Structure 1
Amino acid sequence: MWHSGHVNAPRTPILFIALALLAAAWRPTTAGPAVAPVPRADAPARILVFTRTSGWRHDSIPAALAALKALSAEADIDVHATEDPTFFEQRRLTGYDAVVFASTTRDVLDDAQQHALQSFIRDGGGFMGIHAAADTEYDWPWYGELVGAWFEGHPEGLQRSPVRFEQPGVLADGEAWTVTDELYNYRRNPRTDVTVIATVDESAYAGGTMGDDHPIAWCRAFDGGRSWYTGLGHTPEMYADRLFRRHLARGLDYVLRRTDAC
């Protein structure tokens, strides 16, 4: 006799359906390892302004800092000012686009710090030297080339001279500029190695030693980076001068590679 027992009716395999739905919803991803974010193209440039002195200390340094900060605020540049040479370490310098030596004097960096600055320039960094930056690091030949010429001396007191620009951008057509400042004589005329920006006229004052061709500001591409120097800026009053500030602004643009004109 046939006995009816428990007959299992066919049931839908719930688990398989769930897995099928998950499979349908899944999409392969092409994401690779996490990468560092790319800096914004419109991020502000950053400059390190260095004012350490081991020799004469100019009382115009605070005015230089104030002018550089004001010009930078107008040009979307972040400024960090220091007299601490430990900032000249490769890891720290990578956070800047250019360094500015504002009337530094004599020996301001040790051997390791010198190497860090050299590497920074060779990696494409910018260097801007103001006035006594040429009275700095006499025992470091590479620095002498970076600046373009070392300080030799200067006449007594202040000198008054026209400034004759060889590069456009500072003076408007027909505009003249005469300065009263301490006008350095240099150990050599740098013209053969640099683009001269401006000269002074030794016939207008006593004590010049460079003759008919006396460069006072210049720029150059150097060792992978850019260098810009002005011998002006001894007095605090110079930093309030409209044309001198325009001159400095051109220097910042040049060393930050915002323009090829200096």
Structure 2
Amino acid sequence: MRRLLIALLCSLLLLPMAGLAAPPGADRILIFTRTAKFHHDSIPVAVATLRQLSTEAGLRADHSEDPRDFRADTLARYRAVVFANTTGDVLDATQQAAMEQFIRNGGGFMGVHAAADTEYDWPWYGELVGAWFHKHPEGLQDTLVQPERDGKASGVAWPIRDELYNYRRNPRGMVQVIATVDESRYDGGTMGADHPIAWCRPFDGGRSWYTGLGHDAAVYADPNVRAQLRRGLRYAAGHAPAC
């Protein structure tokens, strides 16, 4: 009997210790790729890249195109939600409310490329992503991406060939711009000398990060783009205090 009591006591003492030990990679993100308008052929490559970068960052990534995942109990599993080339109206009013509450509870959002071509009738989302898509030049364009810090160019500009969005507004002043593109190097830009292409900010209790790059599948192999996405994942997941 005494041995039984000792064994039982030991097992009880070990229970709270087990509860405190979080399993490796317990942090999760949800990659959401539902499209109601244009469907990008690069989505599978985007998902595979985001999965790989998430693993490198110590995150587990789930992929979904099911809007029913946007409910409080499901979203509570995640630190961040990534809208990767979503388009059109992808969530109903109840699902939108769940997403808003997720951010207000401290969750993170990361938007890739056509995330800005999504949910035009949801004003809160427009503020979350920072700026909605307006139009883009035909085809892929060659230009330079200029990293930026504290409102000034920082580091060496790097080349990119991708579909380059013009936005309905310049988000500068409402967000922290982290990169711009040089319109003087291609035709069809409408935003002038200041054309933000990636930005971030704290938003409504949570975090928001966006890049306009990611139309063409080939860009996901670019080490500069991958570094940018890695940075976004870390910030959206709350692993980096600044974006």
TM-score by length of 1: 0.82
Q: Distance in 1 between matches of 2:231 and 2:26?
A: 17
The alignment partner of 2:134 has SS state of strand
1:133 aligns with 115
* Residue number among 211, 224, 228 corresponding to 2:192 in the alignment: 211
The correspondence of residues 95-244 of structure 1 with structure 2, limited to 5 A, is 95-167=77-149, 175-244=156-225
Compare the two structures and name the one with the higher helix fraction.
2
For residue 198 of structure 1, report the CA deviation from its aligned partner. 0.2
For residue 260 of structure 1, report the CA deviation from its aligned partner. 2.3
Letter in 2 for 1:69: R
Q: Report the number of matched residues.
A: 228
Contact 2:148 2:154 in 1 (8 A): no
Once the two structures are superposed, residues 119-144 of structure 1 have per-residue CA deviations (whole angstroms, 9 ceiling, x without a partner) of 00000000000000000000000000
Q: Distance in 1 between matches of 2:65 and 2:160?
A: 29
For residue 41 of structure 1, report the CA deviation from its aligned partner. 8.4
For residue 37 of structure 1, report the CA deviation from its aligned partner. 3.9
Distance verdict in 2 for CA 1:39–1:120, change over 3 Å = farther
1:10 aligns with none
The correspondence of residues 54-93 of structure 1 with structure 2, limited to 5 A, is 54-93=36-75
Once the two structures are superposed, residues 63-87 of structure 1 have per-residue CA deviations (whole angstroms, 9 ceiling, x without a partner) of 1011011111212110100000000
For residue 38 of structure 1, report the CA deviation from its aligned partner. 4.8
The correspondence of residues 248-259 of structure 1 with structure 2, limited to 5 A, is 248-259=229-240
The alignment partner of 1:166 has SS state of strand
**Structure 2 unaligned residues grouped into runs of 5+:** 1-11
Larger radius of gyration: 1
TM-score by length of 2: 0.89
Once the two structures are superposed, residues 214-235 of structure 1 have per-residue CA deviations (whole angstroms, 9 ceiling, x without a partner) of 0000001000000000000000
For residue 251 of structure 1, report the CA deviation from its aligned partner. 0.3
1:24 aligns with none
Across the aligned residues of Structure 1 and Structure 2, the Cα RMSD in angstroms comes to 2.2
Q: Distance in 2 between matches of 1:186 and 1:176?
A: 21
Moved over 2 A (4+): 34-44
2:4 aligns with none
Once the two structures are superposed, residues 124-167 of structure 1 have per-residue CA deviations (whole angstroms, 9 ceiling, x without a partner) of 00000000000000000000000000000001111111000003
The percentage of counterpart residues that share the same residue type is 61
Q: Distance in 1 between matches of 2:106 and 2:33?
A: 22
